[in-house]
């Protein structure tokens, strides 16, 4: 698979990332069964065989079990750690922890960031993360605390580079004004089913009910050398569903994806991801399937090149209205 150099780093990563959210099975505190571990190992093997070297985690994924399973895989494959790039995220806390009345919340406090990374390192059975992202914006964030945590983790060699997820341009700018390490990633929801960050500039200043809030996050990240990573780039498979869609635009988008897949002699997954890969921001989609067949179908996107005309056909049909 072709690779990207993440700006401001020495990390050479596959153009498509492997999302590890569901590796651990159930989202509870049950033990990982042999069947779940075998399924996870098969998915990781298939991803590596097809050129994936970038693996995305978070401390909360299946209550930490996804990191635990991946750490076991690393332990059983000596030398693999140096050949892969590991990213994890922190900041989301479950309801009921540490006491029954605690709500779900976000936590960018110094103590929580440090504890979260130490937990991830223990589960992943590694001494360092290549990347740590702040998972979702914390309204109570004190940038000075985040800066102190980042400095400690970087100085101790536990995290090489830092980034954010689901953050706006203003939130990133505020954080950047306090930290000494560069922010190198913003992971956001982005797909043909959810193209708002790309579409907002097209519909800017319209008075026809299509325009929405314009934050310019995509342009801000490009200007400030933050790599855009796309979560849910296949919208959980909805992009390929031509029958179960209530939205006419979604149904037409799915039909066009299948048409383009046949034309390019490839998979619909490859077409949907190629649409993102065609963008000059060098978007890195993160796929989350554990199905080996779907992983192979996704990897085909690396060799699909969409013309400007095909890109716009897909974009227009996903919007459901003509361009202005």
Active site residues: 61
DSSP 159-222: EEEEEEES--HHHHHHHHTT-SSPEEEEEEE-BTTB-HHHHTTTTTT--SS-------HHHHHH
Report the alpha-carbon distance of residue 113 to residue 116 in Å, rounded: 5
Report the alpha-carbon distance of residue 123 to residue 86 in Å, rounded: 12
**Burial annotation 230-252 (CB, 10 A radius, 16+ → b, else e):** bbbbbbeebbbeeeebeeeebbb
Helix ranges (DSSP H) in 225-302: 248-263, 268-277, 292-299
Can you name the residues that pair with 231 across neighbouring β-strands? 189, 286
Query: Closest Cα partner for 286 from 25, 31, 47, 24?
Result: 47
Burial (0-12, 13-18, 19+ Cβ within 10 Å), 282:
middle
Query: Closest Cα partner for 102 from 111, 110, 94?
Result: 94
Report the alpha-carbon distance of residue 184 to residue 179 in Å, rounded: 12
Rg for the chain, CA atoms, rounded: 20
The three-state secondary structure class of 129 is strand
The three-state secondary structure class of 299 is helix
Q: What would the two tokens of residue 141 be?
A: 């964030």
Residues 65, 122 contacting (CB under 8 angstroms): no
């Amino acid at each position: 698979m072709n690779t990207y150099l993440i700006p401001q780093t020495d990390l050479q990563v596959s153009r498509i990332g492997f999302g590890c959210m569901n590796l651990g099975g159930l989202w509870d505190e049950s033990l990982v069964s042999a069947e779940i571990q075998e399924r996870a190992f098969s998915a990781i093997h298939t991803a590596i065989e097809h050129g994936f070297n970038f693996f995305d985690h978070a401390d909360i994924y299946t209550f930490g079990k996804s990191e635990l399973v991946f750490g076991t895989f690393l332990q059983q494959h000596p030398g693999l750690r140096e050949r892969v790039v590991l990213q994890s995220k922190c900041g989301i806390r479950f309801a009921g922890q540490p006491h029954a009345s605690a709500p779900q919340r976000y936590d960018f406090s110094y103590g929580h960031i440090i504890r979260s990374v130490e937990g991830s390192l223990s589960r992943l059975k590694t001494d360092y993360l290549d990347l740590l992202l702040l998972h979702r914006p914390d309204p109570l964030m004190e940038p000075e605390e985040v800066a102190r945590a980042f400095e400690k983790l970087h100085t101790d060699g536990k995290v090489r580079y830092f980034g954010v997820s689901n953050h706006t341009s203003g939130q990133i700018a505020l954080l950047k004004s306090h930290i000494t390490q560069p922010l190198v990633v913003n992971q956001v929801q982005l797909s043909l089913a959810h193209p708002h960050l790309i579409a907002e500039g097209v519909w800017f200043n319209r008075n026809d009910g299509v325009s929405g809030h314009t934050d310019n996050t995509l342009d801000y990240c490009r200007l400030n050398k933050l790599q855009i990573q796309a979560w849910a780039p296949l919208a959980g498979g909805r992009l390929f569903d031509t029958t179960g869609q209530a939205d006419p635009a979604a149904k037409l988008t799915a039909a066009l994806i299948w048409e383009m897949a046949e034309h390019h002699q490839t998979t619909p997954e490859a077409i949907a991801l190629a649409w993102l890969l065609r963008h000059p921001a060098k978007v890195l989609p993160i796929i989350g399937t554990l199905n080996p067949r779907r992983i192979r179908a996704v990897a085909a996107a690396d060799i699909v090149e969409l013309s400007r005309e095909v890109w716009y056909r897909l974009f227009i049909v996903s919007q459901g209205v003509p361009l202005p």
